[in-house]
Structure 1
């Protein structure tokens, strides 16, 4: 079209760029954030198909993709010209008459050769779409929190409550929203059911939780999102509440991974001269001294421990002192000379107690000789397995057969663990806060956005800066006190020669449901079995709605709060309950909670609890400078209810649940709990009220917008229209922009003041 001058640049992270030929180009772009009829759906900027002619320049920029012999090297950062990939979006900038109107990502669709003419079909998407696309199927468990590595003990647990945390080996002042926190949660980890033990807390029930804000920081710090930043916007109260949000540990047993390492080793193991009669079984062993790193996971029994063999010899046996899982290998070098027939084997053996025989876990025949000499490197591969607490293992070298004059030199024997060793945590270990498992990063961000009804957007001047803002704050310009000073007057922009359509919202839902995800820990199961619904769920019924139910369902599960035996501790409980009323740990679904600071309670101790089959034995851990009988009279309170700050202030302020629970498992002031705003009240009620308002109407019309209007487009800003039919303010829902010479179609929602 004459009078139009488009420029489209493809941009690379290193600053290189290429300009595409755009003569005769037809561009139509839709700017939108949400689907008015489906509150669970969010949208983004999206162009219609753009067809580029196969000019010499465009062929070069698109890397001559029709050349079937071409190859894209994924190790090269450049994404244009010879390394252009049809599967990788490229950042782009669109200008109309030198005015930027769109900055997003060009996605390649097709290269077409028709009657000898080449063309390229593409679309341009916004940065929000590409943000989620770049996350792909990456899991939260891929995020690295090792900078928060610290010693797991009472001092570091209590310091995280209100004092300090460890970052990169340095002590840093604790700050809500930053790093990690040890909340008071009953995970059922060696948790006594007896009232006399209610104030004796096994230390492994304190597990490092990670703040929601820290998860977002790590997501945006990933190399795949280079250049992307984020911001959570809102009023002071909302930001304070957001910074309080934590994601607790979700594992059944608190465990830790460490990189594979040499587990056992010794040099110059032994040299054996042997003469034996034919048919005798010969077993010769020399055992390792106290081994490198073995004290992490097992202990050495020593030479006095009976070692089962034919001739009563003794040797070192290792007892597993904490459960760990690994693969690995045992390896060594040897040289031998044999006169006669012999087999030489290496074995990993295991037994459950000293009264049982050792059994072979895995073995390898590494020498079978007849009048021969050898020097060789030998490996015994150990498949991944769990080494259980209390079991004993040993490494043994055996040979048998008709042996005459065996001279064997074994050197540098090593038991090397695999790439990752997973082990149960004990007090004194150095650990890193563990991210939750089995949750995709994009699902985490989307569910967080659904919980708080966050609108996600960016601006043209900083398109890779992602902004999260609640529905209420996003549309704050539309509030009665702000609307006159912020609204844009579109009265003269409306194309009255074209069709103007006033309409209803169409078929709105009969029911809007808001729910967490079901989980099967004891209290969630108890609640659901009794009331037939998920704890904290809510449904809003629209009496005139006709469409199917619209559902907001989170990846998070709810967590009922519980108080036992007048301890005054109101705590989340995440465990299974066995038939004998003993608690057992449980691999839960991801949870989200407020941290409410320290609250006072009955005195309790933190220490090591063990169960010997009939009784629970407790040994307190006393951090310096506390006295031996010290008891904590305050605890770090977390849960779905937001309490006022202060040790003695348990005033209810807000609730992360969507609805009022049919039952609470702590001595709650039910009328007050029912009166506080929950997540539906705070983040969705205004939107649903607008949707179901009988006075609501949609307006669809054509307006004349320039490239400057689109460059400055802010869909938070209301518009005002005044004509012979009256006047009204509207929210901007969608803009379909072609160019400054053609009308743009806009969809508007009337604001009922």
Structure 2
């Protein structure tokens, strides 16, 4: 048997007694959330002149080189910390393609040996995505200016690229849960947009009918910080109103609780900004305050900005309960100039939150609120500190995907849900009846022996009001599901958790819009509305389905008390594909309680039922069996291996679970794990 190993198209010298054992696997029923790539045990290569040259004489302690990532990873450009493309042939048949990694260099009596391992192409993709964060992706092509038209127009975009502005209740942006301040809208980025960028930046492509499906294209990741902000150039002073702070009906200076940044100083009452710069400077000042009136009826309020005691800007508004007002102004300040805000109202008022940002052309940067007319830098809309590999793995788990290398294209990754991976045509099965060594040990294990009693499918917990309420009432997270295998000989629970948190949907009496809701809340629904206080929060990253919902009762998008427009549709994003007539649900399990009235549709098409139920039924079936035995496989068998085809042994169908210790230098018997197929279609 002629074995050849190529590294970056350079043929390596191998030992006559080379023993290279390869494991091929797409799944492991013992770990139902794992997806694996092919890999080898340690291969020992001799330190010949040729191999030493290919490996850049890395054995030399004093060796050093300048690495150029744009050139092949071998010779003078070899870098052991980077992968190198590897192909293995047996009798001119390609039996492996992937990457090679040097594990160790041994020097004994002047003799050099290289201990290496090879891994499938998925290993390289994993390595690339493991070292990058979502925020490393560049979405600047979608930068835009925040506008009312832009928000509304995004509702028609469900293409899977770009962004979508969903109506999500973040708290404090609606007094009646019917009309909404425009500040509740934040850009959500499509999941497919993230994946396309991730694969492209890693140097890979993917082939997936599922990723190009209409349903998958509608998945979005909403902005997950409590207020929509951007980084402002220059020194910024960022302050929050002390809470609660009650003001009488006469004008009062606003007192700020916390102050950060540089460029300004403050008096002891923390209500006057004194410019500490050394030259006249232009500043952009953005402010917003929220709160409630202390008495019923319609009341008005006015926010006033004073510079050196003189009024330079004001913003007014009226409301019946919740009140929000904000303004943006540009002015110049000289060294020693003072700025302060006053609030006037016709009755007493209690602040619930507030923020002021003063951006100048000097000093450090800070976050300031994004208002209509301001730029929206899309790279800043990406959730922070989430590894790209964790994002992809959660998508794989959510939809029970098989991820595997294309046989002929080293940069093409195939992605298919388990429910679509295996064929249903028995005639396409591969007959291995005569490859089984019946004289060797054959193990046949009932599947129940391999599994725990309970399998828990769940989203990551978060502390927002409705998630916390659901968890307290039912002892499990919103949207989770527990599968009971009925196995009586174990009591442990196996589970996996996504990086995403669930997002409860909430509706209100007399209201025909349903909202994903992410907020904190104190008070009770039985009390007067004024006793319920809402708080905007940062949240765990979410995943939702976007859709434009039409023909709802006219409602208003507002700027404080000013109505900007009155649409009859809205941009919805939630775990149901349609809150009025759902056909599928991103939750793993049906809910114990809905926080809105369901008009029609079905709640049974959950992620578990659609993508996991047949898999779990297969591996926990009382008649299920895992066959482990010795099979004689040739290089042609490995080359022609199609993991989506059934293996036929004595007329019984099996799914291939794993091939262990296939010898790349001297093919012969190797251990194979096969999972009995009880039903080709559940």
For the aligned pair, the TM-score class normalised by the smaller chain equals 0.7 to 0.9
Q: How much has 1:73 moved relative to structure 2?
A: 3.0
**155, 163, 170: which is aligned to 1:161?**
155
Give secondary structure in 2 for the equivalent of 1:652. Answer: coil
* Post-superposition CA distance 1:554-586 (Å, at most 9, x none): 111111111123120011011111454132211
Larger radius of gyration: 1
CA distance in 2, matches of 1:454, 1:503: 26
**436, 444, 461: which is aligned to 2:383?**
436
Give secondary structure in 1 for the equivalent of 2:452. Answer: coil
In the alignment, what sits opposite 1:653?
583
Extract unaligned runs of 5+ from structure 2: 237-275, 288-305, 316-325, 344-353, 524-530
Distance 1:353 1:656, change over 3 A: closer
In the alignment, what sits opposite 1:360?
none
Distance 1:712 1:350, change over 3 A: farther
Instruction: Note if contact 1:600-1:635 (Cα within 8 Å) is conserved in structure 2.
Output: no
Instruction: Note if contact 1:102-1:460 (Cα within 8 Å) is conserved in structure 2.
Output: no
Distance 1:699 1:287, change over 3 A: closer
**539, 564, 573: which is aligned to 2:517?**
573
Q: Please tell me whether residue 593 in structure 1 is matched to residue 544 in structure 2.
A: yes
* Post-superposition CA distance 1:473-520 (Å, at most 9, x none): 112x1x3xx122x10111232233433332323331111001111111
Taking structure 1 as the reference length, what is the TM-score of the superposition? 0.72
**153, 159, 171: which is aligned to 1:188?**
171
In the alignment, what sits opposite 1:474?
421
CA distance in 1, matches of 2:457, 2:191: 21
Q: How much has 1:421 moved relative to structure 2?
A: 4.5
Q: How much has 1:39 moved relative to structure 2?
A: 0.6
Q: How much has 1:443 moved relative to structure 2?
A: 0.7
Instruction: Note if contact 2:419-2:611 (Cα within 8 Å) is conserved in structure 1.
Output: yes
In the alignment, what sits opposite 2:608?
680
In the alignment, what sits opposite 1:169?
none
CA distance in 1, matches of 2:235, 2:455: 57
**144, 149, 154: which is aligned to 1:150?**
144
Distance 1:436 1:498, change over 3 A: same
Instruction: Note if contact 2:467-2:504 (Cα within 8 Å) is conserved in structure 1.
Output: yes
In the alignment, what sits opposite 2:435?
493
Task: Give the stretch that moved more between structures: 120-129 or 736-745.
Answer: 736-745
**70, 73, 82: which is aligned to 2:66?**
73
**202, 205, 209: which is aligned to 1:229?**
205
* Post-superposition CA distance 1:631-674 (Å, at most 9, x none): 21111222111239xxxxx322111111121111001269x644
Q: How much has 1:141 moved relative to structure 2?
A: 2.0
**278, 288, 295: which is aligned to 2:280?**
288
**74, 86, 93: which is aligned to 1:92?**
86
Instruction: Note if contact 2:158-2:547 (Cα within 8 Å) is conserved in structure 1.
Output: no
Q: How much has 1:148 moved relative to structure 2?
A: 0.7
Q: How much has 1:591 moved relative to structure 2?
A: 0.7
* Post-superposition CA distance 1:596-631 (Å, at most 9, x none): 33233221111212xxxxxxxx11224xxxxxxxx2
Distance 1:556 1:459, change over 3 A: same
In the alignment, what sits opposite 2:243?
none
In the alignment, what sits opposite 1:732?
656
- Equivalence map 1:443-522=2 (5 Å): 443-475=390-422, 477=423, 479=424, 482-484=425-427, 486-505=428-447, 506-522=449-465
CA distance in 1, matches of 2:638, 2:205: 23
Taking structure 2 as the reference length, what is the TM-score of the superposition? 0.80
Q: Please tell me whether residue 20 in structure 1 is matched to residue 17 in structure 2.
A: no
Give secondary structure in 1 for the equivalent of 2:392. Answer: helix
Q: Please tell me whether residue 38 in structure 1 is matched to residue 17 in structure 2.
A: no
Q: How much has 1:189 moved relative to structure 2?
A: 4.6
Alpha-carbon RMSD: 3.5
Distance 1:350 1:75, change over 3 A: farther
CA distance in 2, matches of 1:60, 1:683: 50
Give secondary structure in 2 for the equivalent of 1:42. Answer: coil
Distance 1:592 1:389, change over 3 A: closer
Instruction: Note if contact 1:599-1:637 (Cα within 8 Å) is conserved in structure 2.
Output: no
In the alignment, what sits opposite 1:247?
221
